[in-house]
Structure 1
């Protein structure tokens, strides 16, 4: 049987299934697979685009996250083509993503959204669903403030943005709520830190790394309190927080004479108030990744998929926390090497992509 005849036969068998059974089968698939299914037959397209399917799929998405739909934004070329190289770990594929031309710098991301500045200096900000090409302007922040986190509300178009006012000796934590369309003071950062690292949400708390002094901080937006978590950080350079399976992880490096000699991931045991080793990057992987002279690396991840980047040479290695496997993403020239910059944000494919 020819390939065309086999496809016709397969489509015919699918059409014989009751519509409710067709929908039940498709509801089991991740968005990344459904997008492929849409191109295979009109029957798939009709079912996937239907209001009943979108509603049912959205309801399921509220209760479970699909790791197959994680998309990691690796590199960008803001200066020339507004392109980004995105990595789909579940399929080990690199994809080109066209960024809104008004984006100058992405501050934070969550779900399918990013919050970004629209000028190279201080100016307006916007929230964008870069995968669906939508842009929502937001009121300006106060001068001398910076954004810590974007929090997308589940099953809702609403979101919150957490920022820190760095103008005064006592720094305020401010939150923008899209439902209210305004910024509000939600707490204070009493200790002065030279830098605040990335932030993640776990059990309604916002965890963030404070650097110089090095602390793990927890912010409760309901009680407006920010506290230092009484646990020592486990290594020389503390780079990136991750959340996976409702657990908190920390990526870091061990340094000798200013050079990173080992990269590891630690898991926080809040009960015993200690970090426990989750894994180390294997020596053979580290040697190829570091080039024997690694001064700095960057990390991004979501739902257990993590990418590490040696920004000096644009070398990227991927890690699957569920399987504890390491791999090399396919090389891509979508974004030219000249002018390429590390983007380092993680998204999830949104349900509304199924309507396109």
Structure 2
């Protein structure tokens, strides 16, 4: 799953993804049969119409006014609530007699997050859907479309759900196979999800495949402590890498380390020549890793091919309150953030890096009605993450996310998920 997102022990992380692919891990598979859409969270009605005075109390004179949450227009509500596929009766005697090769062709085109719902159908399907040859074949079939993956962990059990943008539906994926210490979501790419955590006093990192319910603990780093991590997957090479930059809290200058799944080891590289990072937010684009930094001002770029850091003196827009780097397609790098000095003058904007002129060029602004609905308070915290020119916004304690399609220039709501999030990273 090429993903975008956020994580929390009691909150969630959301990611945009394409599909879950086979990782080829060697841990024992565990199958959880029940997969169902989670219950959606509603939004409070903050319309001024709900605070009208009550002097006119006559039932015959009362006027009933239907309201909706701010930012949700009629077109968005109609689109989100529209049924995509009607139930179709399927003849048991026909589907039970399908040849094996034809059955594989059909099941390989099922969205990966729905495979868990198909395993309990019969023993034949359960065996087929866990077979390594079928999973490899499934990974070669074109994706059904982008998805959003959310993960949150409460004291009882981890939860994971996937929202299909084409189907406009939520699907739950069992995540109980992970060890208890894996509670920081690092990121997701190519169908794999990376977690880190403290097992006692030892810092550990693992990579798992939600489809096969398998996971692998990575070897210890040379400087094994909490680091800023990001994972990238090479689909053609069927391998992945995990990049560890500076110390998580920025009080030590540590060499950059890169884990290669083909070598199953970490290699040491150059120390990042920056002393003051803006945040732990990172974006991986075109084999390059980007971070915001204040000293030196601009961006730090790490080239995975050479193993060296380079400073890009791209000045941040004026009055930028908070910014997130988001990777797009075709070498596109976006900066998303709030602009303004006072609460009444704030706005959310999106810039794109002009690599030739080394400047940020504004490409879009969030419409005021969406901005007011997303951030009810001027100082309210928000998260932003993206992939494939899709940018998703969430804010603290909101039951919905806001999605922006850079190519189509369209804003839309993604509802029905609890998005209390922090410590997000792409």
Q: TM-score, normalised by structure 1?
A: 0.74
| Secondary structure at 1:284 match in 2 | helix
Q: Does 1:73 align with 2:147?
A: no
In the alignment, is residue 90 of structure 1 matched against residue 90 of structure 2?
no
Shift of 1:219: 0.7
1:140 lines up with 2:220 in the alignment:
yes
Name the residue aligned to 1:107: 186
Number of equivalences: 332
The aligned counterpart of 1:129 is 208
Deviations 1:92-151 (A, max 9, x none): 333334352441212333222233223277523232325232221112232555133112
Superposition map of 1:203-242 within 5 A: 203-211=286-294, 214-235=297-318, 236-242=320-326
Secondary structure at the counterpart of residue 229 of structure 2: strand
Q: Which residue of 2 aligns with 1:119?
A: 198
Instruction: State the Cα distance separating 1:181 from its structure 2 match.
Output: 2.6
Correspondence 1:244 to 2:328: yes
Tell me the secondary structure at the aligned position of residue 90 of structure 2: helix
TM-superposed deviation, 1:254: 0.9
Q: CA deviation at 1:344?
A: 4.8
Q: For 2:156 and 2:292, locate their aligned partners in 1 and report how far apart those are by CA, in whole Å.
A: 33
Instruction: Report the Cα distance in structure 2 between the residues aligned to 1:119 and 1:67, rounded to whole angstroms.
Output: 36
Give 1 or 2: higher strand fraction. 1
Counterparts in 2 of 1:85 and 1:70: CA distance versus 1, 3 Å: closer
Q: Secondary structure at the match of 1:119?
A: strand
Partners of 1:309 and 1:316 within 8 A in 2: yes
Matches within 5 A, 1:261-280: 261-280=346-365
Q: Which residue pairs with 2:406 in the alignment?
A: 321
Give 1:287 deviation, angstroms. 0.8
Runs of at least 5 residues in structure 1 that lack an aligned partner in the other structure: 347-356
The structure that is helix-richer by fraction is 1
Q: CA 1:152–1:121 in 2, change beyond 3 Å: closer, same or farther?
A: farther
Between 1 and 2, higher relative CO (CA 8 Å, sep ≥ 6) is seen in 2
> Does the 8 Å contact 1:123/1:140 carry over to 2?
no
Change (3 A) 1:285 1:39: farther
**Higher-Rg member (1/2):** 2
Q: 1:194 to 1:29 in 2, by over 3 A?
A: same
Structure 1 residues 261-340: aligned runs within 5 Å: 261-313=346-398, 315-332=400-417
Scaled by the length of structure 2, the TM-score of the pair is: 0.63
After the TM superposition, which segments of 4 or more aligned residues of structure 1 sit over 4 Å from their partners? 3-6, 11-16, 18-57, 167-170, 211-214, 312-315, 340-346
Q: CA RMSD in A?
A: 4.0
For residues 194 and 4 of structure 1, the distance between their equivalents in structure 2, rounded to whole angstroms, comes to: 52
SS at match of 1:91: coil
Aligned residue for 1:187? Answer: 270
Task: From the superposition, tell whether residues 106 and 6 of structure 1 become closer, same or farther in structure 2 (CA, over 3 Å).
Answer: closer
